[in-house]
Amino acid sequence: MDMVVHCGKSTVGSYLHSLVLTDIASGWTEAIATVVREQTLETESVGEVRMKLPFPVRGLDVDNDSAFINDTLVGYCRDNKIELTRCRAYKKNDQAWIEQKNGAVIRRMVGYGRLEGTQTAAVLNKLFASARLFVNFFQPSFKLISKTREGAKVIKKYHPPATPCERLLERKDVSDECQEQLRQTLAALDPVRLLREIREAQRVLAQLEVGVATAETAPSPRS
């Protein structure tokens, strides 16, 4: 689990954050936007994400951000029998799985602009609602099998590309109920419609981005 900030070029003031969670085994990824950085709000967001997941959460691994390392999240995990672990200080590679999703999913869909306010958060969550279905059910990715070094050369071997949904359906430790739920959800989805919803949300987000003048608000050039 990690946080992606939407502050643009300045961290001054209040701006949106995206709480991102990814499952190491399958690559299943979820995200939810928060208006401010506050530990109680982050814990509530974790609860919302857990309700959307097709499998139970057994553990959470985080970095050393104070938004995660606090009594509120520790108590939440203890009450819900979730094992909470954290990476080593100054070792970003410990979080390689989530860092990869931060770039490949969140930054790729949202960009690096500054986003503020509840209205923009609602649009961002609308984007995430469609994106989670498209990414988890229709977007295949490679998963590393092994990595060996021969002198200066690094040789990597990968599993055949698969979607997070396909990986969950192949696992024997995923319950029949969960797998049936995944199949029913997949059968009802239209990837073209999802892409259309994603693009529309991206269009609206671009208009709400702070510091970017739209065609309607930009001053006309002088003659």
* Number of CB atoms found within 10 A of residue 110's CB: 23
List all residues 6 or more positions away from 102 whose beta carbon is below 8 Å from its beta carbon.
Answer: 2, 4, 20
**What per-residue confidence (pLDDT) applies to 220?**
43
Q: Is residue 222 part of a domain?
A: no
DSSP reduced 3-state for 20: strand
Q: Is residue 96 included in any domain, yes or no?
A: yes
Domain that holds residue 111: 2-208
pLDDT of residue 218: 46
Q: Kindly report the CATH number assigned to the domain that includes residue 153.
A: 3.30.420.10
**Percentage of residues in the chain with pLDDT exceeding 90?**
78
- Rounded to whole angstroms, the Cα distance separating 97 from 102 reads 9
Q: Average the pLDDT over each of 2-6, 90-94, 102-106 and give the range with the smallest value.
A: 90-94
For residue 80, is pLDDT > 60? yes
At 121-157, the pLDDT tens digits run: 999 999 999 999 999 999 999 888 888 998 889 999 9
Total number of domains constituting the chain? 1
To the question of pTM greater than 0.75 for the whole model, the response is: yes
**136 within a domain of the structure (yes/no):** yes
**Residue 34 forms part of a structural domain:** yes
pLDDT at 186: 97
Partnered with residue 144 across adjacent β-strands are 158
